[in-house]
Structure 1
Amino acid sequence: MPLITIKKKDKYIYGVWRITENLNSLLNQIRLNKNDENYLSQISNEQRKKQSIAAKITLNQISDKKIYIEYKENGAPFCAEYKNISISHSNIFSIALISDEIIGIDIQHKKTNIKKLKSKFINKRDYNKSFNEIEFLHHNWCSKEAIYKTLNNLKCSFKTNIYIENQNTNFSQGFYVNDDKKINFEINHEKFENYFISIAKKIL
């Protein structure tokens, strides 16, 4: 089964799906509703369709019940069964998380050009030279993506509104700052094969 891992934590559960199937094989593993069909009809790239379907299957597997995903105007997924779901995908992996708290998840494949991209998302408060720069940059990018998914369409620039501090290979602290608004996050980092995962939990 391509669901390669399920991890259960105190506040959330997530699963990772390795996409080895063709599109029809994935479609045979799930019953789509009208919202699903409409959403998929807007995706022209077959790999993106497979990623989306694999994430839906993963949600059903980790929750042991049928989940019907709906989408907010900003494209963020939600469902009636849980207060919070978060979905991400990169290349051959899809990842999905369920929780009753505000948590975002992101997965990223190791990029060969990450150093060239860092000026787009790294700021002075982020920087940490205490460990491998490539890993630092990937975890930082993942962390900011995970935080962004919790913001519910708040104005956001990765470089000027999101800060990652005290970052190491397993944990960091994140902050969203915009004028007088500040939101704190606890972030856990994981890595497997050539993929990086960050899970950002909003601190209430």
Structure 2
Amino acid sequence: MPLHKIIHITETTTAYFWHITEDVTSLFRAVSLKDTSLFRLEGMKSSAHQRGFLAVRMLLQHLGYTDYDLTYDEAGKPHLSDEKNISISHSHEFSCICISDELMGIDLEKLKEKTLKIAPRFMNIKHLANISKEQQLQKATVVWGIKEAIFKIKNEKGISFPNHIFEDEFDLSDATCAAELKFNKQIEKFNIHFYSVEDYIFVCAIPN
């Protein structure tokens, strides 16, 4: 299936979504992979993971890039050859990439009951007071996405979701909020944008 959705987050930050309906063979035949990517693909035991990996390359091709334009540093952070910032996420039937002139991180999560069950482990559950069960699930998924997206930007060993990343109070209708990373005696602030995409939550964090 072609490109599913485009979200213009800021003037210089855009997210692209691929709905994965193809099998591994179809996707593999449609992309060109460098040797290191081929090696990574062959090492993946799950076909879902392989499809997500290949769908990211389909998105790159849609935007005029190829797998050869994408590299990863020692920490596993992706980089583009033209020095634009890129962040990548995939979940179940969707892959997403975000490209920006700014530093940013993204996360895409399918709405699932497990996220709400483990919410006390990663967030302040006062955020879930006085709202419906459906809203609690959406809000917990947004918070998880906030923490994942900020972690992708910083990617430092020792960062704890409940102990170091804090989101301000927000309403789901806001579609934006603020968050902080308090780590190594520093406080860093982030602007958060979040969206519903089918039965998924998409979050983008941009350093403030």
TM-score (norm 2): 0.89
Structure-1 separation of matches of 2:200 and 2:2: 16
Q: Does 1:190 align with 2:195?
A: yes
Give 2:171's aligned amino acid: N
Partner of 2:89: 88
Q: Does 1:143 align with 2:131?
A: no
Percent identity between the aligned chains?
Answer: 27
User: Shift of the alpha carbon at 1:130?
Assistant: 6.1
Structure-2 separation of matches of 1:154 and 1:167: 28
Structure 1: gaps spanning 5 or more residues:
none
User: Shift of the alpha carbon at 1:72?
Assistant: 2.1
RMSD: 1.8
Q: Where do residues 97-176 of structure 1 align in structure 2 (5 Å cutoff)? A: 97-123=98-124, 127=127, 129=129, 131=131, 132-169=135-172, 170-176=175-181
Q: Secondary structure at the match of 2:113?
A: coil
User: Shift of the alpha carbon at 1:154?
Assistant: 4.6
Partner of 2:5: 5
Give 2:146's aligned amino acid: S
Partner of 2:77: 76
Structure-2 separation of matches of 1:12 and 1:82: 14
Q: Secondary structure at the match of 2:193?
A: strand
User: Shift of the alpha carbon at 1:46?
Assistant: 1.1
Structure-2 separation of matches of 1:175 and 1:130: 24
Q: In proportion to residue count, which structure has more helix? A: 2
Partner of 1:48: 49
Q: Where do residues 50-69 of structure 1 align in structure 2 (5 Å cutoff)? A: 50-61=51-62, 63-67=63-67, 68-69=69-70
Structure 1 133/144 Cα, relative in aligned 2: closer, same or farther at 3 Å?
Answer: same
Is the 8 Å Cα contact of residues 3 and 15 (structure 1) preserved in structure 2? yes
Is the 8 Å Cα contact of residues 19 and 94 (structure 1) preserved in structure 2? yes
Is the 8 Å Cα contact of residues 162 and 176 (structure 1) preserved in structure 2? yes
Structure 1 130/83 Cα, relative in aligned 2: closer, same or farther at 3 Å?
Answer: farther
Partner of 2:185: 180
Structure-1 separation of matches of 2:31 and 2:71: 15
Misfit runs of 4+, over 6 Å: none
User: Shift of the alpha carbon at 1:127?
Assistant: 2.6
Once the two structures are overlaid, the 10-residue window that deviates more, 18-27 or 32-41, is: 32-41
Structure 2: gaps spanning 5 or more residues:
none
